[in-house]
């Protein structure tokens, strides 16, 4: 287990990530569904959304989503890797299965292109003629980096990668990961360092991320024959994309040459401990961003994603909080409330002496300026607001009773003898 010590910063903008729909959710089946249940759901949805019978504007997109989800889940190897790594899965690093390129974008299966895609409903340039604003650029720019040919238009040519066997995934970033963290009220007020334990994607230590067994070398890819490119057909358009089997390198892992630890992926999920700096003044549900401590990309050597830590702050038994102001109660004997005096009250920096004005009433409030919580943006602190709680004795000695009776006779005729 590796420990990383990083400096965290508040994430004011939140996580910005493309929404990707789970293939199980698309088909409406559970993650433990059998192949029979998956096939039954696929046939029903394919019939429902087939563009020849369903004229809704988004039928073609939904039909394609159903096809791609089935292509992924009907292949037990791809399904297992998706269940392990989640979104970002691009197919295995080994040789392609019979009948296609394997993984996302392979030629096998009932739908050309195979694999698992993400869809965009935005109407951007190049999406004309696709119902619901479906834009093939969005799919292949993100996952393949190839160009489009065919049809009546050219959809952007070379959209990433170099088209000559380059590696389109080298700049792909890893996914962000999130984890909750519970801290005390005073830790949030004063700031602290905490260790969180996460499971994240990292390079396989056995093969150093190569996906190869020791002594094995990559061979010329049998899918693209060393060109690093492949052509698939989708919706009547011929699309040239980076070869999915070899990632555009023109070379692939030979049969049986995959690393046993990572099954040729070059990546594994491993437990990791990360030390997070929590700044003073954070509030409940605040998110701390730890750059570069998220998942490594499943393809290539791009930057890691970020770790986002969501804070759950335990309430204090003494203080309440509103923004940077702190609220607390102070017990004041009734005679000090009448005559004035001083009492000790708790603050987040320790007990201090508070002056009680003469004639103070129950629930009067006194502000201690600058005794609140440090402001995250800018300098200075909030205030502490002290609410006076007047305490009355439950019993009196004879002398005390005599004095109170004398005072009562001076102000109330009912007590005069």
- Greatest Cα pair distance in the chain: 116
- The candidate with the shortest Cα–Cα distance to 312, out of 188, 158, 166, is 188
> How many CB atoms within 10 Å of residue 339?
12
Average pLDDT, the chain: 77
Q: What is the DSSP letter of 377?
A: S
Q: What is the pTM of this model?
A: 0.55
Q: How far apart are alpha carbons 345 and 362 in whole angstroms? A: 16
Length of the chain: 417
Q: What is the pLDDT of residue 218?
A: 83
pLDDT digits (tens, 9 = 90+) for 302-316: 899 999 999 999 999
Q: Are 328 and 346 in contact (CB under 8 A)?
A: yes
Query: 222-249 burial, b for 16+ CB within 10 Å, e for fewer?
Result: ebbebbbbbebebbebebbbbbbbbbbb
Q: Are 293 and 304 in contact (CB under 8 A)?
A: yes
How far apart, in Å, are the Cα atoms of 172 and each of 11, 263, 332, 372? 22, 21, 64, 44
Q: Give the lowest-confidence range in 23-32, 87-96, 199-208, 378-387.
A: 87-96
- Tokens 């290539």 correspond to 300
Q: Are 200 and 194 in contact (CB under 8 A)?
A: no
pLDDT value at 160 more than 50: no
pLDDT digits (tens, 9 = 90+) for 36-88: 899 889 988 988 888 778 888 888 888 888 888 888 898 887 888 788 777 55
Q: How far apart are alpha carbons 271 and 158 in whole angstroms? A: 39
- The candidate with the shortest Cα–Cα distance to 239, out of 315, 306, 164, 144, is 144
> Average pLDDT for residues 355-368, to the nearest whole number?
94
Strands (DSSP E) contained in 28-166 are 147-149
pLDDT digits (tens, 9 = 90+) for 95-135: 333 333 333 333 333 333 333 333 333 333 333 333 333 44
């Amino acid at each position: 287990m590796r420990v990383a010590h990083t400096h965290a910063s508040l994430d004011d903008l939140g996580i910005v990530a493309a929404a990707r729909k789970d293939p199980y959710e698309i088909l409406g089946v559970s993650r433990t569904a059998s192949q029979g249940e998956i096939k039954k759901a696929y046939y029903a949805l394919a019939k429902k959304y087939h563009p020849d019978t369903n004229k809704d504007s988004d039928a073609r997109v939904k039909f394609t989503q159903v096809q791609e989800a089935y292509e992924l889940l009907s292949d037990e190897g791809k399904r297992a890797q998706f269940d392990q790594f989640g979104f970002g899965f691009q197919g295995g690093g080994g040789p392609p299965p019979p009948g296609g390129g394997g993984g996302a974008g392979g030629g096998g299966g009932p739908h050309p292109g195979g694999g698992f895609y993400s869809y965009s409903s935005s109407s951007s340039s190049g999406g004309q003629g696709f119902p619901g604003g479906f834009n093939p650029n969005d799919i292949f720019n993100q996952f393949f980096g190839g160009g489009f040919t065919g049809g009546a238009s050219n959809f952007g040519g070379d959209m990433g990668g170099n088209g000559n066997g380059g590696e389109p995934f080298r700049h792909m970033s890893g996914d962000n990961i999130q984890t909750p963290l519970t801290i005390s009220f005073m830790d949030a007020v004063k700031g602290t360092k905490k260790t969180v334990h996460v499971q994240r994607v990292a390079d396989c230590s056995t093969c150093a991320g190569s996906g190869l067994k020791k002594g094995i070398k990559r061979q010329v890819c049998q899918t693209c024959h060393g060109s690093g490119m492949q052509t698939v057909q989708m919706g009547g358009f011929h699309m040239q994309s980076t070869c999915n089997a070899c990632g555009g390198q023109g070379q692939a892992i030979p049969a049986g040459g995959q690393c046993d630890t990572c099954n040729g992926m070059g990546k594994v999920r491993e437990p990791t401990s990360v030390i997070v700096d929590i700044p003073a003044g954070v509030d409940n549900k605040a998110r701390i961003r730890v750059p570069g401590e998220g998942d490594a990309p499943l393809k290539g050597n791009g930057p890691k994603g970020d770790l986002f830590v969501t804070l759950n702050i335990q309430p204090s038994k003494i203080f309440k909080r509103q923004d940077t102001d702190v609220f607390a109660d102070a017990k004041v004997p009734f005679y000090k409330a009448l005559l004035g005096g001083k009492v000790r009250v708790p603050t987040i920096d320790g007990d201090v002496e508070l002056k009680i004005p003469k004639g103070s009433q129950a629930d009067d409030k006194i502000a201690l300026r600058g005794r609140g919580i440090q402001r995250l943006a800018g300098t200075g602190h909030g205030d502490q607001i002290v609410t006076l709680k007047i305490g009355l004795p439950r019993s009196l000695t004879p002398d005390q009773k005599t004095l109170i009776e004398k005072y009562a006779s001076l102000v109330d005729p009912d007590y005069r003898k």
